[in-house]
Amino acid sequence: MRIALAGAGAFGIKHLDALAAIDGVSVTSVISRGLEQAREVADRYGAPHASTDLHHALARDDVDAVILCTPTQLHAQQAISAMRAGKHVQVEIPLADSLADAMEVDRVQKETGLVCMVGHTRRFNPSHQWIRHRITAGELSIQQMDVQTYFFRRSNLNALGHPRSWTDHLLWHHAAHTVDLFQYQTGEDVQVAHAVQGPVHPVLGIAMDMSIQLRTTGGKICTLSLSFNNEGPLGTLFRYICDNGTYIARYDDLVTGREEPVDTSAVDISTNGIELQDREFVTAIRESRQPNASIASVLACYQVLGALEEQLAAQS
């Protein structure tokens, strides 16, 4: 399996490290905004090709699939371009920053029949997989999810502290993780969704604080708090309040409501959620099937985000 990686930033490196752990996979092209960075990363991971132009990689015979870790605003069009070029594609979250673009990617996937997977990593983290296994076994039922997604990002920097060429978004990026996970874990569609947001940053042009409430058709609820103003522990905390226990997930780690560690080491072949996500992408291509986190399976998330965006626009 020969893969091109577009976007050699903080998250792109996570994928390159994950791909290095998967047998029968090689990275044949690295694309980045700067050619020097693309060449440095390509050399580090043994890729023979480096470029600043994704289309150069899409035209290559030694590229079977593409992983897109590029700015959000490029995701939909680049995913479509990859499929039009006959390449399977995994696009990092979010699939798009509008419902219309998400639906167009879905249409092109159906038209081409290629694998198009979205990086909804929470489906693959061992912590969330452990919860899901107990739900599917009938041992747990979610009553409520309380989620905190907190960062301190008052300037446009990435996770490595480097300047970004694009602006992050609480709704279309960070809320997408929770909206999708909530529907995935409950097995129910969101029927009621409400959102409010704080002031828009005068330079970044985005809301720095947001609150979202969700309820499924079966009455399960989710409360999501998001902020770029938080000074303290960064990242996302998921509290699962269930009929038979409370659990807290922090990325790949899981504890009970009393902070007792839960052993998730036997859940999957790895304890690295990004690696498990990439393994699913590669396996789906090899088996000619649609992956977990396919376009069709995550589209309901973007339908909710689209409705929430309309609410927020009406409030401004």
Q: Which of 100, 42, 56 is nearest to 76 (CA)?
A: 100
Give 180-194 pLDDT, tens digit per residue.
999 999 999 999 999
Cβ 225 vs Cβ 211: under 8 Å: yes
What is the domain-level CATH number for residue 142?
A: 3.30.360.10
Q: Which two tokens stand for residue 202?
A: 């005068």
For the whole model, what pTM was predicted? Answer: 0.95
Please tell me whether residues 206 and 281 are part of one structural domain: no
The count of domains in the chain is 2
Show the domain range for 157. 122-269+301-315
Please tell me whether residues 151 and 26 are part of one structural domain: no
pLDDT for the residue numbered 234 = 87
Please tell me whether residues 224 and 154 are part of one structural domain: yes
Low-confidence residues of the chain: pLDDT under 70: 158-161, 164, 166
Which residue's entry shows tokens 């790895």? 270
What is the domain-level CATH number for residue 71?
A: 3.40.50.720
Q: Which two tokens stand for residue 87?
A: 């390449």
Report DSSP letters for 211-248, one per residue: EEEEEETTS-EEEEEEESB--SS-EEEEEEEETTEEEE
Which residue's entry shows tokens 């996970």? 181
Cβ 172 vs Cβ 97: under 8 Å: yes
In this structure, the chain runs to a length of: 316
Please tell me whether residues 216 and 252 are part of one structural domain: yes
Please tell me whether residues 265 and 158 are part of one structural domain: yes
DSSP 3-state assignment of 249?
Answer: strand
pLDDT for the residue numbered 166 = 67
Please tell me whether residues 66 and 153 are part of one structural domain: no
Chain centroid to CA 50: 25
Please tell me whether residues 191 and 79 are part of one structural domain: no
Please tell me whether residues 282 and 264 are part of one structural domain: no
pLDDT for the residue numbered 163 = 72
Q: Which contiguous run of DSSP H or E holds residue 3?
A: strand 2-6
E strands along 134-277, which residues? Answer: 142-150, 190-197, 209-216, 221-227, 235-242, 245-250, 253-256
pLDDT for the residue numbered 167 = 74
- Phi, psi (deg, nearest 5) at residue 286: -65, -35
pLDDT for the residue numbered 310 = 97
Q: Which of 297, 310, 294 is nearest to 91 (CA)?
A: 294
pLDDT for the residue numbered 155 = 78
Please tell me whether residues 311 and 182 are part of one structural domain: yes
pLDDT for the residue numbered 52 = 98
Please tell me whether residues 126 and 262 are part of one structural domain: yes
Please tell me whether residues 71 and 105 are part of one structural domain: yes
pLDDT for the residue numbered 306 = 98
Please tell me whether residues 197 and 130 are part of one structural domain: yes
pLDDT for the residue numbered 187 = 97
